[in-house]
Structure 1
Amino acid sequence: MASDRLHLLRVYTDADAILEGQPYAQALLARARTLGVANGAILQVIDAYGDAGIVHGAKAVDLAPRRHVIVELVDEEPRLRGFLDSLGQGEEVGLVTLETIAIVAHGGHRHHAKS
């Protein structure tokens, strides 16, 4: 994976959405891994708003909060476009963005460090 050609794909979705019996975001992450996408994560959204002007969040005053998550994937553009082709546009998919990124640092993870 050449670091000068990396892209970030974000898929915004509802945390409660289901695909094939599992949470939609987890299904997307599993599909990305199967397709060989280099890096992926599911991020929980604390608070957000969109073009409808509705604030989404999980505050104590909400009777039925609509929780949202963002699936982030990092790889070269052709692989991410392949993932997008497998995605399909259903009601579960909100905003989808794709942008060029530059890796400015890449540290190790403590759980992988040798003792």
Structure 2
Amino acid sequence: MTRLTGRALRVTVFIGENDTWHHKPLYSEIVHRAHKAGLAGASVFRGIEGFGASSLIHTSRLLSLSEDLPVAIVIVDNEESVRAFLPQLDELVSEGLVILDECEVILPRSQLRSTGGTPIVGRGSNA
């Protein structure tokens, strides 16, 4: 399989699933803003157990009946695009954790064909 690799920046936002922004789930607001900003992709992952600054353990185990499970939103794009999006995260995330990681993106040949050979991540960069 021929692959294209490129450097990118990954931002991971850890919040609780009950966190809201104007009566709407915060994770949904972050994903929609990332989409509107033209970022390459964003996904939301619901955790089955975790704890944060409060030190309370939230779990999906039946006997615990936790309703505020941990949520991670992962966004990947080139560094310039991700850093331009950070002020929006600063506005939205009052409690939680935001992590930035350098990463390498590997696109399969089929995805390169669908984009005409242009990488989705790292557009305009020397990736």
**Which TM bucket (shorter chain)?**
0.7 to 0.9
For the aligned residues, what is the CA RMSD?
A: 2.7
Q: Structure 1: which amino acid aligns with 2:35?
A: R
Partner of 1:35: 37
Partner of 1:101: 103
Q: Please, which of 20, 23, 29 is the counterpart of residue 22 of structure 2?
A: 20
Label 1:107 to 1:52 Cα distance change in 2 as closer, same or farther (>3 A): farther
Tell me the TM-score normalized by structure 1. Answer: 0.77
Partner of 2:60: 58
Label 1:52 to 1:21 Cα distance change in 2 as closer, same or farther (>3 A): closer
Structure 1 residue 90: Cα displacement:
5.8
Q: Distance in 2 between matches of 1:51 and 1:18?
A: 18
Structure 1 residue 43: Cα displacement:
0.6
Unpaired segments ≥5 residues, structure 2: 115-127
Q: Distance in 2 between matches of 1:73 and 1:13?
A: 14
Displacement over 3 Å in runs of 4+: 49-54, 89-93, 104-109
Larger Rg: 2
How many residues matched? Answer: 109
Tell me the TM-score normalized by structure 2. Answer: 0.71
Structure 1 residue 47: Cα displacement:
1.5
Label 1:60 to 1:72 Cα distance change in 2 as closer, same or farther (>3 A): same
Identity rate of aligned residues, in percent?
21
Contact 2:26–2:92 (Cα < 8 Å) also in 1: no
